[in-house]
């Protein structure tokens, strides 16, 4: 079997288009413009790239973008004071603090200072608990994007065997919660899992989120399974010339594509969905804040 390639780039563009339409309607009908504040502390080059893209796409869908760049030496107190201001600001519906933070800042303390209803990353302890207990929550963007692609491909996920490889708070754990909510039988596998190949081979849905380049070969994939590759790993590519690199996922695409029923590529799979879902979450937060119906098809 050769897999259907799930086009995350096109899917994300469609989501952004639907968000943009609803932003137009919110403005026209209610005079409201959703606003997203992004806070970056320090000069981490990868974070700078992400934050720039987030700002650009926020504006492209018609929302207000508020960018706060603080220098690497910013104190915890200063950062918490900024978050307090943003929590109180009625023009700000979503707040994102780009991670990782410099070492002297306490990440959990900072994240938990964000008002849960503005926590568009879904990392606040209250949103984590709400997701786990089936209450209305803000859901982390990357797993939300994966869920949307899975629902689009399968329709119902009920009863399917799902294996999530990786147990991070940002992807693995919330992904497992979302799959459980959609009535999958869920296994979370990780570095200490015994016989990982056999565990993966059970999966109708295999989500790889470990951050290790091409660690899952095609022969760990069940024939016809859906493979969602969350990994974005940069590796040397001497075949492209000296010093060149390329992006690969956590799955060995070339062998997995021969066995899977559907698979997300890297790049162009899960990656573009993350920012699209951030914008969807900002729209959701804005609708909830104003007592309006939630945008259809853009939430978990
Ligand atoms: N750094 C890497 N991924 C993320 C993310 O999803 N949200 C935030 N805030 N920081 C990140």
CATH code at position 146: 3.40.50.720
Kindly state whether residues 90 and 185 are assigned to the same domain.
Answer: no
pLDDT at 245 over 90: yes
Kindly state whether residues 264 and 147 are assigned to the same domain.
Answer: yes
Domain count, the chain: 2
Q: Is residue 178 part of a domain?
A: yes
Q: Is residue 45 part of a domain?
A: yes
CA torsion 208-213-217-222 (nearest 10°) is 10
pLDDT at 262 over 90: yes
Q: Is residue 126 part of a domain?
A: no
Kindly state whether residues 246 and 201 are assigned to the same domain.
Answer: yes
pLDDT of residue 1: 78
Kindly state whether residues 160 and 262 are assigned to the same domain.
Answer: yes
Kindly state whether residues 87 and 151 are assigned to the same domain.
Answer: no
pLDDT of residue 53: 97
Residue 135 annotated to the active site: no
Residue 173 annotated to the active site: no
Active-site pick, 119, 121, 229, 250: 121
Residue 252 annotated to the active site: no
Segment holding 11, helix H or strand E: helix 8-30
- Domain of residue 57 covers 30-115
pLDDT of residue 226: 99
The CB of 99 under 6 Å from ligand 1? The reply is: yes
pLDDT of residue 198: 98
Question: Which one of 50, 120, 272 would you pick to mutate in the ligand 1 pocket, going by the greatest count of ligand atoms within 8 A of its CB?
Answer: 50
Kindly state whether residues 254 and 145 are assigned to the same domain.
Answer: yes
Kindly state whether residues 50 and 163 are assigned to the same domain.
Answer: no
Kindly state whether residues 164 and 107 are assigned to the same domain.
Answer: no
Q: Cα–Cα distance between 116 and 107 in angstroms, integer?
A: 15
Q: Is residue 230 part of a domain?
A: yes
Q: What confidence tens digit (pLDDT) does each residue in 34-87 have?
A: 999 999 999 999 999 999 999 999 999 999 999 999 999 999 999 999 999 999
When the pLDDT of each residue in the chain is averaged and rounded to a whole number, the result is 98
- Say how far residue 36 (Cα) sits from the centre of its chain: 16
Question: Which one of 36, 52, 99 would you pick to mutate in the ligand 1 pocket, going by the greatest count of ligand atoms within 8 A of its CB?
Answer: 99
Residue-wise burial string across 199-227, b where 16 or more C-beta atoms lie within 10 A, e elsewhere: bbbebbbbbbbbeebbbbebebbbeebbb
Active-site pick, 98, 173, 177, 182: 98
Q: What is the average per-residue pLDDT within 279-286?
A: 98
pTM of full prediction above 0.95: yes
Q: What is the average per-residue pLDDT within 121-133?
A: 98
The CB of 40 under 6 Å from ligand 1? The reply is: no
Distance 255 CA to ligand 1 centre (A): 30
Half-sphere exposure of residue 277: CA atoms within 13 angstroms, side-chain side: 23
Kindly state whether residues 66 and 149 are assigned to the same domain.
Answer: no
* Token output for 49: 């790239």
């Amino acid at each position: 079997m050769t897999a259907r390639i799930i086009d995350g780039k096109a899917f994300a563009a469609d989501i952004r288009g639907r968000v943009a339409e609803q932003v137009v309607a919110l403005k026209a009908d209610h005079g409201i413009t959703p606003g997203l504040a992004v806070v970056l502390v320090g000069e981490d080059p990868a974070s700078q790239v992400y934050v720039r893209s987030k700002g650009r796409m926020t504006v492209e869908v018609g929302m207000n973008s508020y960018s706060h760049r603080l220098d690497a030496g910013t104190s915890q107190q200063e950062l918490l004071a900024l978050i307090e201001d943003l929590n109180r600001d009625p023009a700000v519906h979503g707040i994102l603090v780009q991670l990782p933070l410099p070492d002297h800042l306490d990440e959990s303390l900072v994240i938990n200072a964000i008002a849960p209803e503005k926590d568009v990353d879904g990392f606040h302890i209250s949103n984590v608990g709400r997701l786990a207990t089936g209450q209305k929550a803000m859901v982390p963007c990357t797993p939300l994007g994966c869920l949307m692609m899975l629902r689009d491909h399968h329709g119902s996920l009920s009863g399917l065997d799902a294996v999530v490889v990786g147990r991070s708070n940002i992807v693995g754990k919330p992904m497992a919660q979302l799959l459980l909510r959609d009535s999958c039988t869920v296994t979370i596998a990780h570095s200490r899992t015994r016989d990982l190949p056999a565990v993966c081979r059970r999966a109708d849905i295999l989500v790889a989120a470990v951050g290790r380049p091409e660690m899952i070969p095609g022969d760990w994939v069940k024939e016809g399974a859906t493979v969602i590759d969350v990994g974005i790993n940069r590796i040397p590519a001497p075949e492209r010339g000296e010093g060149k690199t390329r992006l690969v996922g956590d799955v060995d695409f070339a062998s997995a594509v021969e066995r899977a029923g559907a698979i997300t590529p890297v790049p162009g799979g899960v990656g573009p969905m993350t920012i699209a879902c951030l914008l969807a979450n900002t729209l959701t937060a804005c609708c909830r804040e104003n007592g309006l119906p939630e945008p259809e098809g853009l939430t978990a």
